[in-house]
Structure 1
Amino acid sequence: MVSTIEETESLPEEVPQGLKFLFEEWLEEILNETEKILQKEPELSNKELARRLGVPLEGVAYLRHRLQSKNF
């Protein structure tokens, strides 16, 4: 698996490695789900996207940012 967390975004060292891997897997899955939803409905509001994904509104802003970075 390719790490989805960039060097500047790494989790603290005190977080166990196994937990870091679980987080990276979850982040990759939710990014893929976000991408699928936005491909079907690109004009979807952040509020609605947050509701569908079950994440906070701040999380949606981060996910959109990650997808934009990934696509450039």
Structure 2
Amino acid sequence: MLVLSRRKGESIVIQDQIELTILSVDGDTVKVGISAPKHVDIFRKEVYLSIQESNRESVAPQQSDLNALIDRLRGSNANN
């Protein structure tokens, strides 16, 4: 992890396309402005982790759904 110190109004540039600017510092809270191309998704980490978990749950087959599909396939094979 790269650790940099920045003051209010100072920026960090990432790969010529993304600029992070420190807008304000108030106690333990730092307000950061992010300029990036529209195709770059930007999320707070807790939101990003929630999206990942939701995606994992939606693609993971439920065991009961899998069993129902197996039973349905077995039934169609018996009819052939």
Same fold, TM-score > 0.5, yes or no: no
* Structure richer in strand, relative to its length: 2
**Greater helix share, structure number:** 1
**TM-score, scaled relative to structure 1:** 0.32
TM-score (normalised: structure 2): 0.29
Structure showing greater Rg: 2
